[in-house]
Homo-oligomer: A and B are copies of this chain.
Amino acid sequence: MKATIKDVARQAGVSPSTVSRALQNNPRISEEVRLRIRQVAKALDFHPNQMARSLVSRKTRIVGVMFPGSAASSMGHPFYPAVLRGLGRVAGERGYHMLLSTGSENLTDAEAIRDLADSGYISGLLLLAAQNSPMEELLPSQTLPVVEIGHPPHGESRYYVDNDNVKAGYTATDYLLARGHRRILFLGYSSRFFVTVDRRKGYEQALAARGIPLRPEWVVPSRFLENTTDNELLEKIFRADNRPTAVVSMDDPLSIGLIGFLRALSLSVPQDVSILSFNNTQAGQYASPALTSVDVDPALLGVHAMELLLDILQGTVTAPTHIEVPFQLIERDSVAPCPVEN
């Protein structure tokens, strides 16, 4: 039988309310009594019953974590576990737990969120807003604090943490431009993923800054490798005379696939084509050539998101907040100076 607060109270010779206050470090309790109570509590291996506690305080020490778009697919990418690790670290440190919702086949994201909120178990919600799903509408934000990772479409009045992906796209593109490349392809665009939308914006800005006209046909969608149509498209582009000399690729796995694809066309990386990748995964690190890749530090994203949410829950933060997490361009071997005259 587990020890209750009454057991501790009896042992320590005080009332339950005093025990409760002592364990919460309420200043109304004298130092001496507090110490004695803590000692007894430890001796009895007392852990306050969270259910009872939550019942009256109307708060829990659990936050929901929602990975939209049937986490099934999403979780396959190392980005998500990394975010999760950041979240978990902070949660652990601050005595919180994470209730994970993996969007399932027979449930829409919105339903999953509602389910999570209605469960009554969570005090706040972390939302991976990778996709512009229609869930925006039915966020129970009125009643439940929500922090989003990745910026939402109408982020002005919200809590979220994100990289500056426009800047990242700009930086990546400019890195190639600075090495003489003028014919740069953008690989992995999807209007459903805000990160790619933003990075594309940066890509276009960087080109414009040097007066290089945009070729819309060189913004290639992401179903590459799973969709032969795209591959035919790509093949045509890279067989052409004035083919791209460099690629900004939205993801390491995509880049690795691209290397193999180019090799089949007798094009080698980086001699013929440079690749500037994103996400700096372990796979990219061990690829040959090792990928020059932008590290968006997903773990840090998680850390800041959880810290923000817990601050909100504890009342430290009240005004809508936006935290920007820095990225870093990691130089390896997949980018070389442009081999042709411009």
Would B288 and A260 count as touching, CB distance under 8 A?
yes
CB <8 Å contact, B88 and A84:
no
Whether A76 lies near B65 (C-beta < 8 A) is: no
- The complex places the Cα of A121 from the Cα of B100 at a distance, in Å, of 14
Q: A257: CB under 8 A from chain B? A: yes
How far, in whole Å, are A260 and B89 apart by their CA atoms in the complex? 35
Give complex CA distance A282, B116 in Å: 30
Q: Quick one: CB contact mask for A75-93 with B, threshold 8 Å, 1 for yes?
A: 1101011101101110011
Contact indicator per residue, chain A 129-148, by CB within 8 Å of chain B (1) or not (0): 00000000000000000000
Total identical chains: 2
Q: Indicate if A127 sits at the interface (CB-CB under 8 A).
A: no
Among candidates B55, B62, B85, B260, residue contacting A75 with C-beta atoms closer than 8 Å: B85
Indicate if A341 sits at the interface (CB-CB under 8 A).
Answer: no
- CB within 8 A of A120: which of B49, B75, B82? B49
Q: A61-B119, A71-B81, A260-B288 are in contact. List 18 more A-B contacts (CB 8 A).
A: A50-B119, A51-B60, A71-B85, A71-B88, A75-B81, A76-B78, A80-B81, A88-B100, A88-B101, A89-B102, A89-B104, A92-B102, A97-B100, A97-B101, A98-B102, A225-B286, A253-B283, A283-B283
